[in-house]
């Protein structure tokens, strides 16, 4: 899900996050060799680095982030095989402030370690005959060349994130110091009259809803406001009528009991006179709490079916098709040998597509993705490519799509490899 945040006091927040990351790095010697000791603001450029943020998260929650261990093990195994220049390039990419670049490199390391864990010798960035390189060479019963790429973040999601960032910054001026404010947003209710998103219109809808509903005033009574419950009531009712209805008839469970205390409190008089129509908009839940330095977060909570969700699904499938098309045209394969294309691709609508037997909601997406990739492959003659693996950023969660134009002798060879048994 798309989300964005605005940190009021960056110094307090990132000083703590970087301290947590440095503490956790003691358990990851290979990653510690990449980052050393990080501190704020000396390493300010690292504040969006997903590796550091995951390290801080793991230290804070004491719950394992699985990809960190895979990256650590891959670095420990791989770096001794690299010359000084290659090692410096790898470390520089992992320390990048470009989240997408870091995530792409992480996926390559995770795949490297995945094959290595099967007892297979793996060579990084082997040269191919056209003068370029691919990502991995797995020395199986027959060599398997593996090209790895990520779908990355869509332009629409980046637009939503930028818009959320702007909203968060404006709301941060309206909350007390050291306060945490979180808004969950039904993205289907944003302004989609633009192509594909009207950022200004969406920003206006959220800010107007927050202010017209006097949401920040209501959060002074309880630390969470279920706007979705209020939105389901008649639009011309006042909040007082909503609360009294809930108390009298038990609608929305404990809502009435939780909010009846504001009915006769002078500071909430204007709020309880607010009509339900003021609560209508993209925000469906609001929460408030404590946060060192102050923090405002907006999270998408999109619903399907909806016109916006349908549009996002179409764009996701089209992006997968374009990624396959681009890689087919680019080459980076070894003629006459077994080649596999691995693509890391995740989307909230397609979550679980690789495990459709246990994730029924992913079954429909699995079929659509399989068809999209197969039809794209069918438009090209690429005999050395035996198939495409679509991964949820983890080789253990993968969907195999065979290439209809693959050379039959290479398919036969591939089917005898360990790689075929673990990927498809």
**Position with higher pLDDT, 9 vs 281:** 281
Find the mean pLDDT for residues 128-146. 86
Rounded Cα distance between 152 and 162, Å, is 16
Share of the chain above pLDDT 70, in %: 93
Rounded Cα distance between 332 and 4, Å, is 36
Rounded Cα distance between 221 and 218, Å, is 6
Check pLDDT > 80 for residue 329.
yes
Q: Which of 204, 180, 389, 416 is nearest to 292 (CA)?
A: 180
pLDDT at 357: 57
Average model confidence (pLDDT) across the chain: 90
Check pLDDT > 80 for residue 389.
yes
Please list the residues that pair with 122 across neighbouring strands. Answer: 138
pLDDT band at 179 (very low <50, low <70, confident <90, very high): very high
Residue 213 vs residues 63, 172, 238, 272: alpha-carbon distances, Å? 38, 17, 11, 9
pLDDT band at 361 (very low <50, low <70, confident <90, very high): low
Q: Which of 44, 20, 19, 49 is nearest to 34 (CA)?
A: 49
Lay out the sheet containing 283-290: strands in order across.
Answer: 3-7, 295-300, 179-185, 283-290, 224-225
**DSSP character for 275?**
B
pLDDT band at 332 (very low <50, low <70, confident <90, very high): confident
Question: Dihedrals φ, ψ of 355, to 5°?
Answer: -125, 50
Please list the residues that pair with 61 across neighbouring strands. Answer: none
Parallel, antiparallel, or unpaired for β 283-290 and 179-185? antiparallel
Alpha-carbon torsion 114, 359, 301, 290, what sign? negative
pLDDT at 308: 64
pLDDT band at 129 (very low <50, low <70, confident <90, very high): confident
pLDDT at 349: 65
Check pLDDT > 70 for residue 352.
no
Q: Which of 150, 159, 195 is nearest to 326 (CA)?
A: 150
| pTM of the entire predicted model | 0.80
Contact 342, 111 (CB under 8 A): yes
User: H or E element: which one contains 297?
Assistant: strand 295-300
Contact 319, 153 (CB under 8 A): no
Question: Which pair of tokens denotes residue 5?
Answer: 């945040």
pLDDT band at 362 (very low <50, low <70, confident <90, very high): low
Question: How many CA atoms lie less than 13 Å away from 206 in the CB half-sphere?
Answer: 32
pLDDT at 170: 95
Check pLDDT > 70 for residue 305.
no
pLDDT at 127: 80
Cβ atoms within 10 Å of 119's Cβ, excluding its own: 7
- Specify the range with the lowest mean pLDDT, choosing from 1-10, 204-213, 250-259, 296-305: 1-10
- Provide the H-helix boundaries in 220-359: 227-231, 239-249, 255-259, 269-272, 307-330
pLDDT at 367: 85
Residue 2 vs residues 160, 196, 244, 361: alpha-carbon distances, Å? 7, 16, 36, 20
pLDDT at 392: 82
Domain residues of the chain, as ranges?
Answer: 6-117, 120-175+301-424, 179-184+197-293
Question: Which pair of tokens denotes residue 162?
Answer: 């930028």
pLDDT at 5: 79
Alpha-carbon torsion 31, 36, 40, 44, what sign? negative
Question: How many CA atoms lie less than 13 Å away from 83 in the CB half-sphere?
Answer: 2
Residue with tokens 């690429």: 382
Rounded Cα distance between 297 and 3, Å, is 7
Rounded Cα distance between 128 and 134, Å, is 7
Q: Which of 266, 293, 282 is nearest to 175 (CA)?
A: 293
Please list the residues that pair with 202 across neighbouring strands. Answer: none
pLDDT band at 169 (very low <50, low <70, confident <90, very high): very high
Q: What SS3 class is residue 253? A: coil
Alpha-carbon torsion 8, 300, 101, 112, what sign? positive
């Amino acid at each position: 899900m798309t989300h964005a945040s605005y940190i009021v006091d960056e110094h307090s927040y990132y000083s703590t996050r970087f301290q947590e990351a440095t503490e956790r790095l003691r358990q990851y010697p290979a990653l510690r060799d990449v980052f050393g000791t990080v501190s704020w603001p000396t390493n300010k450029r690292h504040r969006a680095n997903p590796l550091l943020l995951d390290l801080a998260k793991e230290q804070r929650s004491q719950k394992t982030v699985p990809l960190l261990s895979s990256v650590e093990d891959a670095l420990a195994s791989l770096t001794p095989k690299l010359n000084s220049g290659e090692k410096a390039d790898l470390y520089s990419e992992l320390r990048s402030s470009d989240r997408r670049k870091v995530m792409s490199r992480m996926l390559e390391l995770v795949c490297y370690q995945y094959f290595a864990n099967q007892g297979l010798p793996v060579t990084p960035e082997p040269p191919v005959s056209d003068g370029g390189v691919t990502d991995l060479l797995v020395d199986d019963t027959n060599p398997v060349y593996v090209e790895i790429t990520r779908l990355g973040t869509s332009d629409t999601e980046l637009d939503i994130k930028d818009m959320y960032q702007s909203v968060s910054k404006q709301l941060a001026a309206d909350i007390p110091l050291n306060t945490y404010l979180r808004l969950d947003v039904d993205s289907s209710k944003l302004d989609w009259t633009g192509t594909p998103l009207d950022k200004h219109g969406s920003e206006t809808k959220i800010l107007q809803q927050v202010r017209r509903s006097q949401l920040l005033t209501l959060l002074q009574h309880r630390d969470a406001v279920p706007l979705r419950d209020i939105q389901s009531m008649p639009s011309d009712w006042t909040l007082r009528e909503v609360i009294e209805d809930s108390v009298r008839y038990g609608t929305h469970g404990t809502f009435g009991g939780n909010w009846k205390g504001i009915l006769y409190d002078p500071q909430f008089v204007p709020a309880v006179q607010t009509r339900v129509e003021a609560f209508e908009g993209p925000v469906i839940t609001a929460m408030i709490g404590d946060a060192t330095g102050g923090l405002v977060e907006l999270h998408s909570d999109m619903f399907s079916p909806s016109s916006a969700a349908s549009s996002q699904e179409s764009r996701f499938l089209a992006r997968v098709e374009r990624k396959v098309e681009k890689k087919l045209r680019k080459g980076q394969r070894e003629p006459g040998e077994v080649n596999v294309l691995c693509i890391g691709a995740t989307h909230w609508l397609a979550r679980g597509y690789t495990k459709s037997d246990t994730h029924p909601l992913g079954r429909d997406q699995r079929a659509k993705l399989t068809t999209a990739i197969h039809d794209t492959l069918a438009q090209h003659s690429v005999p050395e490519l035996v198939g495409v693996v679509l991964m949820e950023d983890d080789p253990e969660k993968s969907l195999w799509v065979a290439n209809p134009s693959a050379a039959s002798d290479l398919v036969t060879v591939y089917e005898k490899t360990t790689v075929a048994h673990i990927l498809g």
